[in-house]
């Protein structure tokens, strides 16, 4: 069977096993790599203490690619207990990353606005340029639009998310409890 067309197709794809998978599976990996690169770039510049979770699932509101709960750093470096954390005003950010489907990302980000104070769509520069032509849709929904170049690590704000509280106080409290309950306080990210 060395001369069969099927064998030629498999051999022509090369040694990379990822290329032997369907295109939609390969795309998932691209989004995952995009998310990881964004996390590294964003958290290298984070000025606040906080806790993050990738693939954050809050039943009824979808699965956000990344959720970041932050609070202002205190003057006392040793603060960080659960009691101290509860006393500080927190800000909940939800991020939805897509490579091409900015409309789908906008819909998902809107769902996250029920539990997040700010919800942001993050896209590669080419896709972000297209999406920025629809600024009215983002502004009406209160969703931010950021461009992220994974090669350079550059994050640009194209549309700032409306500063507000989550649409549902109950959903926000559930998200905070879920995230803080699933993490040890020693894993909090600290500003450098």
> Is 117:92 a contact under the CB 8 Å cutoff?
yes
pLDDT of residue 169: 94
Give the HSE-up count for residue 136: Cα atoms under 13 Å, Cβ half-sphere: 0
pLDDT of residue 47: 66
Residue matched to tokens 């409309």 = 103
For the residues 118-147, what does the mean pLDDT come to?
96
| Three-state DSSP class for residue 156 | strand
- Answer yes or no: is pLDDT of 128 > 90: yes
> Is 35:172 a contact under the CB 8 Å cutoff?
no
Give the HSE-up count for residue 59: Cα atoms under 13 Å, Cβ half-sphere: 1
Domain ranges of the chain: 56-187
- Answer yes or no: is pLDDT of 155 > 90: yes
For the residues 104-130, what does the mean pLDDT come to?
97
- Answer yes or no: is pLDDT of 182 > 80: no
User: How far is the CA of 46 from the CAs of 41, 50, 103, 131, 160, in angstroms?
Assistant: 9, 9, 28, 26, 17
Confidence label for 179 from pLDDT (cuts 50, 70 and 90): confident
The alpha-carbon radius of gyration of the chain (Å, integer) is 20
Q: How far is CA 192 from the centre of its chain?
A: 21
E strand residue ranges, the chain: 49-57, 63-71, 91-97, 118-123, 144-149, 154-159
For the residues 174-182, what does the mean pLDDT come to?
85
For the range 35-44, what are the long-range contacts, defined as Cβ-Cβ under 8 Å and sequence gap of 24 or more?
35/65, 35/66, 35/97, 37/148, 37/150, 37/153, 38/66, 38/95, 38/97, 38/122, 38/148, 38/150, 38/155, 39/66, 40/153, 41/148, 41/153, 41/154, 41/155, 42/68, 42/155, 43/189, 44/153
**Using one digit for the tens of pLDDT, what is the confidence trace for 39-80?**
999 988 876 778 899 999 999 999 999 999 988 765 555 444
**Using one digit for the tens of pLDDT, what is the confidence trace for 10-49?**
433 444 444 555 554 445 588 889 999 999 999 888 767 7
């Amino acid at each position: 069977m060395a001369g069969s067309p099927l064998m030629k197709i498999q051999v022509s794809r090369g040694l990379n096993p990822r290329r032997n998978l369907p295109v939609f599976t390969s795309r998932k990996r691209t989004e995952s790599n995009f998310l990881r690169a964004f996390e590294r770039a964003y958290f290298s510049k984070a000025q606040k203490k906080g806790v993050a979770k990738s693939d954050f699932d809050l039943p009824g509101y979808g699965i956000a690619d990344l959720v970041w709960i932050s609070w202002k750093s205190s003057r006392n470096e040793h603060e960080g207990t659960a009691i101290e954390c509860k006393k500080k005003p927190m800000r909940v950010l939800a991020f939805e990353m897509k490579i091409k489907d900015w409309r789908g990302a906008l819909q998902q980000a809107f769902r996250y606005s029920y539990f997040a104070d700010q919800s942001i769509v993050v896209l590669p520069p080419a896709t972000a340029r297209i999406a920025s032509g629809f600024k009215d849709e983002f502004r009406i929904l209160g969703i931010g639009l950021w461009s992220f170049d994974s090669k350079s690590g550059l994050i640009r704000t194209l549309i700032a998310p409306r500063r507000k509280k989550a649409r549902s106080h109950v959903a926000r409290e559930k998200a905070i409890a879920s995230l803080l309950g699933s993490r040890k306080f020693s894993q909090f990210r600290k500003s450098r």
